[in-house]
Structure 1
Amino acid sequence: MPRKRRPAPSKASRLSDLFADVGPLASRKSGYAYRPQQLGFARAVEKTLNGRGVLLADAPTGTGKSAAYLAPAILEVASSGGRIVVSTATLALQAQLLSEDIPQMRAAAAELEGYPEEEGVSYAVLKGRSNFLCVRRHQDTLRAGTILDPDLISNLDLWAVETETGDREDLPFRVPVGPWVEVASDGEDCSPRLCTFRDGCFYYAHRDRAGEADLIVVNHSLLLANAVSGGAIFDTEGAHLIVDEAHRLEEIMAETFGARVSYGRVRYAMRQAKKRCESATAAADRAEMAADLFFGDLGSGASVLHESPPRSYGTLVDALVSVQSTLASDPREEVNALQGMVGRLRRDLVSFYSKPDEDYAYAVVLGRSRRGGGRSYPELKSWLVETAEVFRENVLPLFESGGVVLTSATLATGSGPGRSFSYVRRRLGLDDSSVSDRVDEFGGEEVFDYEGRCLVYVEEEIAAPTLGLPDLFAASCARRAEELVKLSRGRALVLLSTNRAIAAFRERFRPPYPVRYQGDDSPGRLIRWLKETEGAILVGTRTFWEGVDIPGSSVSLVVIDRVPFAPPDDPVAAKLREKAGERAFREVFLPKAQVAVRQGAGRLMRRASDRGVVALLDPRVATKGWGKAVLGSLPPAVRTGSLAEVARFFVEEPGEDG
């Protein structure tokens, strides 16, 4: 529900007052320091919200971007009404916004504007429905016989009675994904008008609370799902949109607007049909048997997408049609609702063996193992590769009466004054004449003293990576990384481009410091271990190229093995190459690699007092035509190819108070 208007203050300098050294934010934020870059970004956001425009904002690490966009957003809603939707890519940023940034800014804005804090802007997180227990589905699962083990059933039964939220995050015990989806809320198996549990529904209670808030925090997947539904999940009337971590939006759009057909999805849909409609049992059993054959043959190489499907494809499609028809003809309306689930499954399956949509990439990919450790079936997967029209035509119109801000520490390509937003403009359709005149750009200045506190090492001697000898390059990287971490006395994050490189490092990387690898524990626990263990070294792949925020000396060296171009067999890359031809490298693959390198290098300096070395071990940047563009994405620091220079840098390292 949009907030009612409050009389606007007469002062035109309220952002300056809010961010002042002795202002209301400074008194609430530990270690606060005034940053002109932060105020400049806040003013750009204010202009966009007031003018109902679109802002592309590249705010380098240290800007304090969340406070910079929250300040004008909260002041705008408090004085003029409306609503704010903030979308993030990661749970870590959501948690930071909800526990720190929003409460502090809400209180600071109330003090500035002269009203009680409790009358300030209200806020809430809005999660997808699969995060919540569905009481009806929980009971249906128990009545129908269950795939859940007895101990898990007992724990869920007790929790279902005691919980006030039904939120999976609040579970005091672990529930694997497979069992959870059997009892979680599912929009394709939901008839709220007919449900006897509607008044006590955990999901709708959560959604209703968020619907009353002035500011809601969502993730990119939910933002896009709302666009697909035409705004049916949450109201966007009169709302402004702020997309943080916006460099991830294209990737998540590709997944959200694509399709995935797996053995598990067929089994799940058929279980729901049999639970709700006994007369669908025979057809559902046929579909499960056909799926067993279909997915068993999918990886044999005997079938070709869009041409020749595996055996039993026709039987599977016919069985799904029969199940859908049975559900549709059932006299109970709540059973009829399930036909949508089965119909979408059938349409997605058929899309892989009918005329392909040129805006999509299709592939057979490795699947997840069956329950109980049985054989692993491959899956069918498609991705949206042309995201421009979808964002421009599906997402932007939901916020046509508000401003839209897209921001990240790495939204632009390159670094410094030469940064370019041309890639994100193209991929999100913002270069189209229908919207381009509404789009402004903000390239924030660097906050940190990279020249004085950072050194960039670029490898010059080891052999370049090749498709034919990837293990040789990985072995050379392991040796060079070992030399580098000895100079930094551990305290390193090693970022690799492939799982194969991880395997090579496990075999060859032997530094005299504690080492852990991606997969040894959960990402969160590994990051905590790196932060708390003296001299620790963490080796990982793309999971750790972004989102790792460890200020201080625990990460004094970041090693990047190679420029992370998409592999030749990547289905999305192959489709983009097919569509764009020779332009694909310059227009798509190089900009994506530049952003990834900026993200990886950005793990080093997280606070102004940090100091360290970024090492890029890919010698191609010195010889290839694209090398200059990649080097321009590294921090604007002194650059060297000498290990002796790296050694001197660490020898000159000041104490902790320096």
Structure 2
Amino acid sequence: MFQPLMHPIRDIGFLFVHMAAPPAGAVAPYAVAAIRITPEGKRTSYHSLIRTKATRARDFMHSHVSRKALGGAPEHAQVQDALCDFLAGLEFVFCYDPYDALPALQELLRGLRVLDLGFAADYFMPWGSSASPRQLWETIHGQPRDKVSFSAEEGAELGLAFTRHLFGSVLADTRFPGARALRHYLAHSDTLFGDACCHLLHHFSGYFDGGLVTPVTADDTPDWRQFLEKAPTIEPRDAQGTGFTEVPERDISQLYEQLAHRRKGYRVREPQVTYAGHVAHALNTNAVACIEAGTGTGKTLGYLLPVMEFLKRNPQQRVAIATYTKSLQNQLYGNELEACRELFGQYRSIPAALIKGKSNYVCAHKLDDVLSPDMDGEELLAWLFFVNICYRYRLADCEDISPRLRRRLDGNRQLTGLMLEVSAGSGCHATHSHCPAQVVTAEAANARLIITNHNKLILMEKDGKLNGLFRHCVIDEANHFEDAVRSAMSPEVATSDVQGHARYLREQCRKLVASPSTPPLDRDRAERGVDAIGVLLRALDTMRDRFLAMDRGALGGAIAVTPAHKAFTNGHIANDLKHLHGLMEAVHENTAFFNGKEAGRLPLPFKTLSRCRTMRMLVHEAMFNLAQLRTGLESEGTWQSVQVFPRNWILGGGQVYVGPLVRNHILARRDTVVFTSATLTHQASFAPFRRSLGLGKGQHILFDDTEAPPKPCFVTRVSPPFEPDFALVVPSGTPTAMFEHKATWLNYVSKVIPDLIELNHGATLVLCASYEDLEALRERLEREYDGEYPLLFQKKGEPPAALCDEFRAAKESVLFGVETFWHGVDFPGDTLTQVIITRLPFPSPSSPLMDARKRCLPDAAYWDRYRYETAIKFRQGVGRLIRRETDKGIVVVLDNRLLKNRKLAPCPVVEGMQNLPEHLRRGKRQP
């Protein structure tokens, strides 16, 4: 796909192949369809089944092709001959490949080149999803599709429809002016991908619409920056003051009564009104509030309406709403807020903005510096991907690099390295008026309501344009806030990044040494720079070896650092970190000639010099983080971790207890803070949550600054509007899932899960405590289970959205997942009537953070915290089952430690499946 096109394009072909995934061995094609189109729009087609015995329940769910039908299908070789005859004369074929089965496709096509339409979707439309045919169909049509299955013929038509949509609409320069620049660089990439895209854009009407649609109406241009949006002028700040008009708490129910009259399907829920009253009280009293509200309360509208009413009554006040997950952030801004504005006209004049952390955005200035006339192939395509992200920043961000893009375009870290370099997280200055980060920051500074994420809220005071503006905030999904604080405030050094920055600087220094135009003084400096960088790179490799000598377990994941160890210089890591800091400082100093007035005399292009300055800044940031990590070694209550890779390592660390950071840097700088979630308490107590965030015990919060007035604090629980109808059961004979009994436990779990699936007729979510457990189960079940219910397994690094959609659409399916499926996913109704928790989610005692807690906390406090984290995550997992009043089912725990730790459970535990209430024995499904 990234090699040059060898011949002129004439006919184009579209292919779709269903692949079966047998228990062992390569995937096998079992249904194929192809469409061929001439430049005049003439279509011919081919389709066939392929005989195979390898299909499983999930394959039938995707295609509705039965094993019986495949038994009478033509042999593989016969279909291969006919397909290759049909595609004869083509150099390549467009193929949508949801199976990521390129080797099997090329074997079927006898080496014919394949241009992956899924890659094109992720490349040009990263805000959508192409992980499954259903998701791609919904992205194209903008509406839900009930069916999961696609015949091979429908799959080929889907690929054609996507191509028509992408090149006739998404990349049409009348709708998207930036397409003119994308076309220019695609054409100069000298790749099949670039040439094919340009060919379709320029010949679109002939292939598809007979002259009705012309996506190219203007000339291509290399001036990509002309299409960037400019940041608005920031209006003068209003003085917020201390006085404000309160929201009448007694009248809060009237807002929801109005909503019931105006919004179809909505009815007033007393718990939601009660919840909204607590939010209004917090705003009225400038308090810190911890509000737990059970499933079904409707928290989003519960806090959004009183916030909007508060802003309406107080034109000088501003509010920030922070969430943990991007999905809730988008739902809030794109759905709930717009609905409020539409239904309540008085709120339409309140300006609102969505803002993410700066590292989510691309700095257009740094991206332009990276561009070089020598770039082509994959390198140029990687750069162009971020140009598209820069254009589409309201729809996509730097995190929207799909696993498919990483597999195909990040082999030499083109995407990963470039993302780090062009991120607006550092070095994107206020003068960069056309950078997306500056645009959204200016919009946020002009807004009175912002919707953001936890990390941005935590770091907002470091942003000069937003510092002190949003003195009232609601923190949703607050049970994750401590982790967000720790992540945002924890320094980290990734040597793969440092190596990349240093090597680029060395490359430019070597050019200066070799150039006769370089002044002698600068040539000497460049030579010193080359030497300093070489010493640093060798030291980084040596440090990797020392970490492995400390503990080879670092190759398997992040582990706690043992600061005093014979592997380090003079027996302590502080000596090595000090040495590395000095080497980074030497690199920074010996490349200083790239900065300042004297840089203009260097025989290097302006963009190269600008990029060198960025690299020096990134090396300096790594040096600063390394200094923080070294200081942390000498501080009480800190942790350090390391993970080692074949060529590099990552060192991180931070504070074990973040309470002082939250109390003195977040709460002290705001008037109102509302912490809310469905899971804040443990055994009906807020004490563990309050301790985790430094909120104290009493009705007021005291700050380290004794002159700061105490802040009122209250906690409250809002009961859900219905009593959940489910049972929590541990089957008879369930073994312990302790590590030392893992073999026995795994044998039991792999045998009992198929029985539970059959008993419940699918509709099951299986929650695993780790990817290791998930992979062990997947390996066994794919080999041994041959039932009628499709098994869906989460894959490491793959976004969960596609699996969630597939699970919702195929109501008999079974979904196996890890961390992301314990919280934040919603499967109401008969999609899910059984949750299986394979192992109690105790934190790993060997994790760097838990290791540090063991050292820093008294035993009682350590075990209290251990049980609290387990209970919260367990409640979140149990909570996946009951999302609506009509939901019912069972939660099965395959770990008998629950019987000894019943206080972890949110309800009584039933022992033995035979003791289940009759109406829950098979959930809602019938045999």
Q: TM-score, normalised by structure 1?
A: 0.85
Q: Deviations over 1:369-409 (max 9, x none)?
A: xxxxxx3533212132111111001111221xx21100011
Alpha-carbon contact 1:475-1:508 (below 8 Å) kept: no
Query: Please, which of 643, 646, 657 is the counterpart of residue 913 of structure 2?
Result: 643
Larger deviation, residues 167-176 vs 553-562: 167-176
Offset at residue 553 of structure 1 (A): 0.8
The structure-2 alpha-carbon separation of the partners of 1:313 and 1:52, relative to structure 1 and needing over 3 Å to count, comes to: closer
Q: Unpaired runs of 5+ in structure 1?
A: 368-374
Distance 2:564 2:617 in 1: 24
The structure-2 alpha-carbon separation of the partners of 1:192 and 1:593, relative to structure 1 and needing over 3 Å to count, comes to: same
Query: Please, which of 461, 474, 479 is the counterpart of residue 247 of structure 1?
Result: 479
User: Which residue does the alignment assign to 1:474?
Assistant: 746
Q: Deviations over 1:91-125 (max 9, x none)?
A: 11111101211122233443xxxx4x542x22111
The structure-2 alpha-carbon separation of the partners of 1:343 and 1:362, relative to structure 1 and needing over 3 Å to count, comes to: same
User: Which residue does the alignment assign to 2:720?
Assistant: 446
Structure 2 matches for 1:135-154, cutoff 5 A?
Answer: 135-143=364-372, 149-153=378-382
Distance 2:256 2:507 in 1: 58
Partner SS state of residue 652, structure 2: strand
Distance 2:853 2:500 in 1: 33
The alignment of Structure 1 onto Structure 2 pairs a total of residues equal to 619
Distance 1:10 1:461 in 2: 56
Distance 1:28 1:172 in 2: 40
Whether 1:384 aligns to 2:655 is yes
Distance 2:421 2:614 in 1: 17
Query: Please, which of 681, 703, 716 is the counterpart of residue 412 of structure 1?
Result: 681
Q: What is the letter of the counterpart of residue 664 of structure 2?
A: E
Partner SS state of residue 433, structure 2: helix
Distance 1:190 1:653 in 2: 54
Offset at residue 347 of structure 1 (A): 3.8
User: Which residue does the alignment assign to 2:804?
Assistant: 527
Structure 2 matches for 1:54-65, cutoff 5 A?
Answer: 54-65=288-299
Q: Deviations over 1:240-297 (max 9, x none)?
A: 1100000001112222222222222312443675699875652334423432333344
Q: Among all aligned residue pairs of Structure 1 and Structure 2, give the percentage whose two residues are the same amino acid.
A: 22
Query: Please, which of 577, 582, 593 is the counterpart of residue 318 of structure 1?
Result: 582
Distance 1:338 1:153 in 2: 19
Q: What is the letter of the counterpart of residue 533 of structure 2?
A: A
Partner SS state of residue 456, structure 1: strand
Q: Deviations over 1:560-614 (max 9, x none)?
A: 1222111221111111111123113443111111100110011001111111111
Distance 1:337 1:233 in 2: 23
Q: What is the letter of the counterpart of residue 688 of structure 2?
A: Y
Whether 1:403 aligns to 2:672 is yes
Offset at residue 223 of structure 1 (A): 1.6
Distance 2:430 2:388 in 1: 23
User: Which residue does the alignment assign to 1:16?
Assistant: 253
Distance 1:581 1:480 in 2: 40
Whether 1:331 aligns to 2:596 is yes
Alpha-carbon contact 1:305-1:353 (below 8 Å) kept: no
Offset at residue 646 of structure 1 (A): 4.4
The structure-2 alpha-carbon separation of the partners of 1:391 and 1:9, relative to structure 1 and needing over 3 Å to count, comes to: closer
Query: Please, which of 680, 690, 702 is the counterpart of residue 434 of structure 1?
Result: 702
Query: Please, which of 351, 355, 359 is the counterpart of residue 637 of structure 2?
Result: 359
Whether 1:134 aligns to 2:363 is yes
The structure-2 alpha-carbon separation of the partners of 1:8 and 1:93, relative to structure 1 and needing over 3 Å to count, comes to: same
Partner SS state of residue 353, structure 2: strand
Alpha-carbon contact 1:496-1:562 (below 8 Å) kept: yes
The structure-2 alpha-carbon separation of the partners of 1:35 and 1:274, relative to structure 1 and needing over 3 Å to count, comes to: farther
Offset at residue 62 of structure 1 (A): 0.6
Q: What is the letter of the counterpart of residue 17 of structure 1?
A: Q
Alpha-carbon contact 2:321-2:476 (below 8 Å) kept: yes
Partner SS state of residue 31, structure 1: coil
User: Which residue does the alignment assign to 2:419?
Assistant: 181
The structure-2 alpha-carbon separation of the partners of 1:585 and 1:524, relative to structure 1 and needing over 3 Å to count, comes to: same
Offset at residue 629 of structure 1 (A): 1.4
Query: Please, which of 777, 782, 803 is the counterpart of residue 505 of structure 1?
Result: 777
Query: Please, which of 69, 83, 88 is the counterpart of residue 318 of structure 2?
Result: 83
Query: Please, which of 50, 57, 61 is the counterpart of residue 284 of structure 2?
Result: 50
Structure 2 matches for 1:144-293, cutoff 5 A?
Answer: 149-153=378-382, 155-156=384-385, 159=388, 168=397, 174=405, 177-182=415-420, 184-193=422-431, 198-227=432-461, 229=462, 231-232=463-464, 234-237=466-469, 239-270=471-502, 281-282=529-530, 283-293=532-542
The structure-2 alpha-carbon separation of the partners of 1:183 and 1:578, relative to structure 1 and needing over 3 Å to count, comes to: closer
Offset at residue 169 of structure 1 (A): 6.7
Offset at residue 483 of structure 1 (A): 2.2
The structure-2 alpha-carbon separation of the partners of 1:144 and 1:384, relative to structure 1 and needing over 3 Å to count, comes to: farther
The structure-2 alpha-carbon separation of the partners of 1:170 and 1:479, relative to structure 1 and needing over 3 Å to count, comes to: closer
Alpha-carbon contact 1:166-1:202 (below 8 Å) kept: no
The structure-2 alpha-carbon separation of the partners of 1:480 and 1:305, relative to structure 1 and needing over 3 Å to count, comes to: same
Query: Please, which of 723, 726, 729 is the counterpart of residue 457 of structure 1?
Result: 729
Distance 2:484 2:696 in 1: 20
Larger deviation, residues 140-149 vs 403-412: 140-149
The structure-2 alpha-carbon separation of the partners of 1:573 and 1:548, relative to structure 1 and needing over 3 Å to count, comes to: same
Structure 2 matches for 1:289-308, cutoff 5 A?
Answer: 289-301=538-550, 304-305=562-563
Distance 2:377 2:630 in 1: 35
Structure ID, larger Rg: 2
Alpha-carbon contact 1:211-1:235 (below 8 Å) kept: no
The structure-2 alpha-carbon separation of the partners of 1:252 and 1:158, relative to structure 1 and needing over 3 Å to count, comes to: closer
Q: What is the letter of the counterpart of residue 486 of structure 1?
A: E
Q: What is the letter of the counterpart of residue 693 of structure 2?
A: L
Offset at residue 639 of structure 1 (A): 4.4
The structure-2 alpha-carbon separation of the partners of 1:139 and 1:234, relative to structure 1 and needing over 3 Å to count, comes to: same
CA-based RMSD of the aligned residues comes to: 3.4
Q: What is the letter of the counterpart of residue 363 of structure 2?
A: C
Q: Deviations over 1:277-336 (max 9, x none)?
A: 875652334423432333344323389535566578676433311122245674259887
Partner SS state of residue 268, structure 2: coil
Larger deviation, residues 9-18 vs 35-44: 9-18
Q: Unpaired runs of 5+ in structure 2?
A: 1-234, 513-524, 552-560, 570-575, 600-609, 704-709
Query: Please, which of 89, 98, 101 is the counterpart of residue 336 of structure 2?
Result: 101
Q: What is the letter of the counterpart of residue 912 of structure 2?
A: S
Partner SS state of residue 398, structure 1: coil
Partner SS state of residue 825, structure 2: coil
Offset at residue 482 of structure 1 (A): 2.4
Distance 1:377 1:457 in 2: 46
User: Which residue does the alignment assign to 1:489?
Assistant: 761
The structure-2 alpha-carbon separation of the partners of 1:272 and 1:75, relative to structure 1 and needing over 3 Å to count, comes to: farther
Alpha-carbon contact 1:138-1:182 (below 8 Å) kept: no
Query: Please, which of 793, 809, 817 is the counterpart of residue 517 of structure 1?
Result: 793
Q: TM-score, normalised by structure 2?
A: 0.61
Using CA pairs below 8 Å that are at least 6 residues apart, which structure has the higher relative contact order? 1
Q: Deviations over 1:346-370 (max 9, x none)?
A: 2433555564322211122245xxx
